[in-house]
Amino acid sequence: MSQRALFASATAVTVGTFDGVHLGHRLVLDMLVERARREGVPSVIVTFQPHPLEVLNPAAAPPLLTTWDEKLEVLAESGVSYLVVIPFTPELAAFEAERFVDEILLSRLGMKWLVMGYDHGFGRHRSGDVEKLQSLGAVRGFQVSVVPPVVGPGGQPVSSTWIRGALAGGDLD
């Protein structure tokens, strides 16, 4: 990405790998689109290629639920205005949450609203959790909307990990 701002106006943003774009992801995207419409600003998805674990710990990288092309197609159908794909590199992995927020989300994307899942985290060691980002938002002038979990059968929150486990166990429902 270049060092200049990509948007002339404020934006509503979400950040994630969005593997599988499951029901929890869809709720995040729906809330992002709704927030952007309400504020009259573009909505922006920030995602990474490759999956962060493929860089950080290839042996632990999960099998992906969708191909890259499938993921792009589903994200395009979400009603979000823009998709920003950031190459995930060891250098990016070293960014603390504050640096990622300052250099990418605020300076380049003009973020004024961040929509994130209840258990999401980004930045080095996933240090940018809900509490940290709400604190940063209070100081740096952006709002954080936290999306609650979508609960699946058995009371488990829907997640890519949960879906992989169900698939591995032969539970296709």
Other beta carbons less than 10 A from residue 111's beta carbon? 26
Q: What is the CA radius of gyration of the chain?
A: 16
Cβ atoms 110, 79 nearer than 8 A: no
Mean pLDDT within 114-139: 92
At 73, give phi and psi (nearest 5°).
-65, -45
10 burial level (CB within 10 Å; 0-12, 13-18, 19+)? middle
Q: Kindly indicate the confidence band of residue 63, based on its pLDDT and cuts at 50, 70 and 90.
A: confident
Mean pLDDT within 115-142: 92
Mean pLDDT within 153-167: 84
How large is the greatest C-alpha to C-alpha distance in the chain, in angstroms?
Answer: 48
Output b/e per residue, 53-62; b: 16+ Cβ within 10 A.
eebeeeeeee
Quote the mean pLDDT of the chain: 91
pLDDT higher than threshold 70 for residue 139: yes
pLDDT higher than threshold 80 for residue 145: yes
Condensed to tens digits (0 to 9), the pLDDT of residues 71-112 reads 999 999 999 999 999 999 999 999 999 999 999 999 999 999
